[in-house]
């Protein structure tokens, strides 16, 4: 009977991963005129997978398996998680799913138009309708304290407004103080990063970086897309994408390390659990911890730069009058700015906190959609001290809301927080980790992540996993300490 | 009600085209370790599409529509063709489908192994099992005269052994005589074609050729694969692939023209008939007529070479001491050889006839699987005068049988025959066609093909289409005349 469950789940996975292939192709290779039929093809696969997942037969099977005493711990956990997912899916009427899908599609196009016209008003009406549906969704899903909790749960099970208010509250002041200290010092020179860097050289260097970090090119590949992303069609086919800015090779490089971190996680998940919860990632926050760990804790470390500098010089001879130390300082330059995706490790979290505030208040009704730009601009002034000149560099910069993804942004900061806490613990376990990074040896990092994160899939919640690994729940102190140490060294305070 | 039929058919098409995307990806970009799960994903989509197509609801709908007097001619034809397809699909038990799919998979791997070991015996047992199943299939499908007719019908509706015996019989002698005349003359020098041609230059030249012939890169793309093919996910997303041999730029070039001809057909099919028979190609023979027309009638013509020679020189300066006329003669050199895919326009048909004879006799039981190599080698000696040194260059060279595709090969020759007949008729309609090719102007060819072939989809059978266009059924005389004219000019007889 457990085998029937596996078979059913694997068929669903086959359809979902086929859909993922179509999406990947859409972002990488789809010719422009192919978009309309492709949209239709993806909608059909999505409908089929939804039907398969809400099939009564699966419900009956799950009921039986929930009372099956012959199952082992992993099997039970799979059944438990699928039952949760099944019951959640069942809450949605097909009428609501269709309405949401249509509203999302309209919102997305309105967002594109609004960006073109650099005018939030163009987006407002459709976003408003979408926010109303998301509010309705909080009722469908249910919550005990705050309606936004229901949406947070979609991305990070167990996350609540109460918890995040505390976490972000405790993070904000220390980060502000650190920023003040940094801004009192002269900024490192990073002008040499803004030369012309040949596309082809960048591409090859990116591939080399992925190889060096352990990405398995026999179980994945890299391609070019407008926005970098990682997707997977099994643990043995994980694909990352990157983009190349010919005036800045760092954008491509650290995007490779970021997506590479996501990809190592997906390649490390247990392939034999294909289609089952234990073959899936723990949560978005944990997924992001993997990308941030590689991008920042490893990739923006002094040792990493030192080791990889000779290769950099090989591909980018225009850096020949630069020292590794200067590159290290330059890529860690702190500078409050308007655009989240271009921000440094420190100010990044203010960008997230602002979006968190907007979403929370949109969903509980304290903020109206029409008031987003004003609220946004005011927060950017307060948190980052920057003036937002227009909507495009302001509240229209991210795609997330147009997709109906409310509750997603906080997982970005959670990722950094988990990464810092995990990395600290890894350093305790292997005191030579930092030295090994200086030798380009990531064997112990791979081993630690495999042992502590990858192998478990969704066995534990993110909170449970964090406790299991580090002996405590998520603490803001690790990230603060990590950033303080780094910037004290660079800025000298 | 017709709309319900459209909706159902379009959903099936969405799944089938999703499957085609997965296949395309498998041939172009799939990382090696991803193959196992990909196979599973494709099997699941294939099963889903089969279930959707044999759904009783579709049967009921078709019954009602077959008696619906409100339908117009095109709608009626769609319903008629879908009914035929539906009834055919219904004949197969799911048990038989599974057996066939498993046998095919085993055969394919056995064929790979047999090629590696260069030994037909390694393939024999699985091929034997597959041939038995194909014989069983002829009973399932039914036939009136020869069992092989049932299989031919899968690729070319209406084709029979009786008809092909006549056609090939009438073709063989004249082609043999032509070959004798050619072989009595000195062969043109083609040594300059076998220099080193840079991969990148070849790739760019191929893209340029596709553009020149009218391939719409906004509704398609080209990629690299081991074996060139054309696939489509709608009329607005048609993909071709090519391969590059650095010691011979002609392989890539004429493969581009060949696949480009297939692709123009797919891009020209009526997009509004997506998912319906009238949005599909007429038959494999007609599809092949499109590739051969562009590859040979257009692409191997004196005028085509003359016009494109300056571009060739631009990409391949190593041809600078060569004349266009020499290139024309060299790419049309006739040389009996072992490998079908590398053969010239004339001897090609002997390769097909041999395969036709093998298949026909395998299916009616006159030839045993174990006797294929002997039969094959003897025929190569008789038809082409060449000695087959081993199985790899002999009866193991093609993938088709390992896929269970019996009845496919004849469509290759039918393609050349239709192409010659169509091209002759096109020249009657537009007497300046040849001159225009010499100016790189294919407008009239596009117009003629759109008007006579593309727009109809499956409206007519290939025989019906041929009659409609040319006023007569398929004649071998056009191909013989076309080849005679060409080689008389080149070889001077």
| Partner residues linked to A238 by β-bridges | A220, A232
The per-residue pLDDT for A95 is 87
Q: How many residues does chain A have?
A: 493
For A115, the token pair is 């960006």
A452 CB-near residues (< 8 Å, 6+ apart) = A422, A465, A468, A469
How far, CA to CA in Å, does A359 sit from each of A346, A373, B16, B394? 21, 13, 40, 68
Give CA–CA dist B168/B103, Å, rounded. 31
Which H or E run contains B231? strand B230-234
| Cα pseudo-dihedral A46, A412, A355, A245, rounded to 10 | -90
Angle at CA of residue A7, ends A6 and A8, nearest 5°: 90
Whether B252 contacts B289, CB under 8 Å? no
Whether A285 contacts A415, CB under 8 Å? yes
The per-residue pLDDT for A94 is 83
Other Cβ atoms closer than 10 A to B285: 27
pLDDT tens digit sequence for A29-58: 999 999 999 999 999 999 999 999 999 999
Structural domain boundaries of chain B?
2-143, 144-493
Q: Tell me which residues of chain A, numbers 249 to 288, contact chain B at a CB-CB cutoff of 8 Å.
A: 274
Residue B472 is classified by DSSP as S
Give CA–CA dist A477/B87, Å, rounded. 69
B195 CB-near residues (< 8 Å, 6+ apart) = B247, B318
Report the candidate in B288, B272, B227 with the shortest Cα–Cα distance to residue B27: B227
In chain A, the residue whose alpha carbon lies closest to the alpha carbon of B41 is: A14
Helix, strand, coil shares, percent, chain A, to 5:
70, 5, 25
The per-residue pLDDT for A83 is 98
**Beta carbons of A45 and B19 less than 8 Å apart:** no
Q: Burial level of B171, CB count in 10 A (0-12/13-18/19+)?
A: buried
Give CA–CA dist B8/B64, Å, rounded. 15
pLDDT exceeds cutoff 90 at B53: yes
Whether B82 contacts B76, CB under 8 Å? no
pLDDT tens digit sequence for B274-329: 999 999 999 999 999 999 999 999 999 999 999 999 999 999 999 999 999 999 99
The per-residue pLDDT for B98 is 83
Sign of the dihedral through C-alpha B97, B102, B106, B112 = positive
Of B22, B45, B236, the CB nearest to A33: B236
Report the candidate in B409, B411, B398 with the shortest Cα–Cα distance to residue B107: B398
Helical residues (DSSP H) of A453-493, grouped into ranges: 462-470, 477-487
The per-residue pLDDT for A244 is 97
**Beta carbons of B25 and A22 less than 8 Å apart:** no
pLDDT tens digit sequence for A237-263: 999 999 999 999 999 999 999 999 999
**Beta carbons of A22 and B21 less than 8 Å apart:** yes
The per-residue pLDDT for B105 is 86
The per-residue pLDDT for A423 is 98
Place of tokens 């987006």: A123
The pairing of beta strand B230-234 with beta strand B220-224: unpaired
pLDDT exceeds cutoff 90 at B101: no
For A347, the token pair is 């100010």
**Beta carbons of A37 and B237 less than 8 Å apart:** yes
**Beta carbons of A37 and B219 less than 8 Å apart:** no
Report the candidate in A426, A409, A421, A430 with the shortest Cα–Cα distance to residue A472: A421
Give CA–CA dist B419/B410, Å, rounded. 14
pLDDT tens digit sequence for A144-158: 999 999 999 999 999
Average pLDDT for residues B218-242, to the nearest whole number?
97
For A198, the token pair is 């040949």
Whether A303 contacts A324, CB under 8 Å? no
Side-chain half-sphere exposure of B5, counting CA atoms within 13 A:
24
| Cα pseudo-dihedral A121, A123, A129, A135, rounded to 10 | -100
Show residues of chain B in contact with A39, CB under 8 Å: none
Three-state secondary-structure class, residue B221: strand
| Partner residues linked to B38 by β-bridges | none
Q: Chain-wide mean pLDDT for chain B?
A: 96
Whether B301 contacts B478, CB under 8 Å? no
Q: How many residues does chain B have?
A: 493
pLDDT tens digit sequence for B470-492: 999 999 999 999 999 999 999 99
Sign of the dihedral through C-alpha B341, B346, B347, B350 = positive
Fold for the domain defined by A142-493: 1.10.1370
Least confident of A401-405, B43-47, B93-97, B186-190: B93-97
For B263, the token pair is 């692709």
In chain B, the residue whose alpha carbon lies closest to the alpha carbon of A11 is: B44
pLDDT exceeds cutoff 90 at B190: yes
| Partner residues linked to B239 by β-bridges | B221, B231
Give CA–CA dist A417/A477, Å, rounded. 9
How far, CA to CA in Å, does A379 sit from each of A92, A348, B378? 35, 14, 85
* Alpha-carbon distance B308 to nearest alpha carbon in chain A (angstroms): 27
Give CA–CA dist A51/A33, Å, rounded. 29
Q: Confidence class of residue B121 from pLDDT cuts 50, 70 and 90?
A: very high
How far, CA to CA in Å, does B211 sit from each of A32, B168, B216, B445? 16, 36, 7, 15
The per-residue pLDDT for A101 is 86
The per-residue pLDDT for A240 is 98
**Beta carbons of B218 and A29 less than 8 Å apart:** no
The per-residue pLDDT for A98 is 83
Give CA–CA dist A49/B388, Å, rounded. 52
Place of tokens 């086929």: A18
Name the catalytic one among B137, B156, B259, B345: B259
Of A10, A34, A236, the CB nearest to B237: A34
The per-residue pLDDT for B102 is 87
Of B14, B218, B223, the CB nearest to A41: B14
pLDDT tens digit sequence for A448-480: 999 999 999 999 999 999 999 999 999 999 999
For B28, the token pair is 């172009």
Give CA–CA dist A281/A235, Å, rounded. 11
Phi, psi of A238 (to 5 degrees): -115, 125
Which overall architecture, per CATH, does domain B144-493 show? Orthogonal Bundle (1.10)
Q: Confidence class of residue A420 from pLDDT cuts 50, 70 and 90?
A: very high
Of B14, B21, B30, the CB nearest to A237: B30
Selected for mutation to probe chain B from A236, A240, A267, A272 (highest B CB count within 10 Å) is A236
Whether A427 contacts A418, CB under 8 Å? no
Give CA–CA dist B65/A463, Å, rounded. 59
Other Cβ atoms closer than 10 A to A94: 11
As annotated, the active-site residues of A are 259
Average pLDDT for residues A117-145, to the nearest whole number?
97
Give CA–CA dist A263/B156, Å, rounded. 46
For A393, the token pair is 């560099």
Whether A194 contacts A248, CB under 8 Å? yes
In chain B, the residue whose alpha carbon lies closest to the alpha carbon of A47 is: B11
């Amino acid at each position: 009977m457990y085998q029937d469950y596996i078979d059913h789940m694997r068929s669903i996975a086959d359809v979902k991963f086929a859909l993922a292939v179509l999406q990947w192709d859409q972002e990488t290779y789809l010719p422009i005129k192919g978009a309309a039929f492709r949209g239709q093809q993806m909608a059909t696969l999505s409908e089929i997978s939804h039907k398969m997942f809400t099939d009564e037969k699966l419900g009956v099977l799950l009921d039986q398996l929930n009372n099956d005493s012959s199952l082992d711990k992993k099997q039970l956990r799979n059944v438990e998680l699928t039952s949760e997912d099944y019951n959640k899916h069942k809450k949605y009427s097909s009428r609501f799913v269709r309405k949401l899908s249509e509203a999302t599609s309209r919102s997305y196009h309105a967002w594109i138009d609004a960006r073109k016209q650099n005018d939030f008003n163009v987006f407002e009406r459709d976003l408003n309708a979408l926010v109303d549906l998301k509010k309705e969704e909080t009722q469908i899903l249910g919550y005990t304290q705050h309606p936004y909790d229901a949406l947070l749960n979609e991305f990070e099970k167990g996350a609540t407004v109460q918890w995040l208010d505390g976490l972000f509250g405790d993070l904000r002041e220390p980060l502000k103080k650190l920023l003040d200290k940094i801004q009192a010092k002269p900024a490192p020179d990073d002008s040499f990063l803004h030369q012309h860097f040949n596309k082809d050289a960048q591409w090859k260097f990116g591939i080399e970086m992925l190889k060096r970090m352990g990405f398995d090119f026999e179980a994945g590949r890299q391609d070019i897309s407008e926005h970098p992303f990682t997707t997977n069609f099994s643990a043995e086919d994980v694909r990352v994408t990157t983009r190349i800015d010919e005036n800045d090779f760092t954008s491509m490089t650290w995007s490779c390390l970021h997506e590479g971190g996501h990809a190592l996680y997906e390649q490390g998940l247990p392939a034999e659990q294909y289609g089952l919860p234990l073959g899936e990632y723990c949560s978005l926050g944990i997924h992001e911890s993997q990308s941030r760990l590689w991008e920042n804790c490893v990739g923006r470390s002094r040792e990493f730069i030192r080791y990889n500098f000779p290769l950099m010089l090989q591909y980018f001879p225009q850096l020949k009058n630069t020292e590794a130390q200067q590159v290290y300082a330059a890529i860690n330059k702190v500078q409050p700015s308007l655009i989240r995706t271009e921000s440094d490790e420190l100010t990044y979290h203010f960008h997230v906190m602002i979006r968190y505030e907007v979403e929370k208040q949109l969903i509980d009704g304290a903020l109206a959609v029409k008031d987003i730009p004003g609220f946004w601009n005011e927060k950017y002034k307060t948190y980052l001290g920057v003036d937002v000149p227009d909507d495009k560099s302001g509240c229209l910069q991210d795609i997330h809301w147009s997709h109906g993804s409310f509750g997603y942004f906080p997982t970005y900061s959670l990722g950094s927080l988990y990464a810092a806490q995990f990395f600290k613990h890894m350093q305790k376990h292997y005191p030579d980790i930092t030295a090994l990074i200086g030798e380009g040896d990531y064997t112990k990092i791979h081993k630690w992540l495999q042992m502590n994160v990858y192998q478990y899939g969704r066995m534990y919640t993110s909170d449970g996993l964090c406790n299991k690994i580090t002996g405590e729940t998520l603490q803001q102190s690790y990230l603060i300490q990590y950033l303080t140490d780094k910037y004290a060294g660079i800025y000298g305070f």
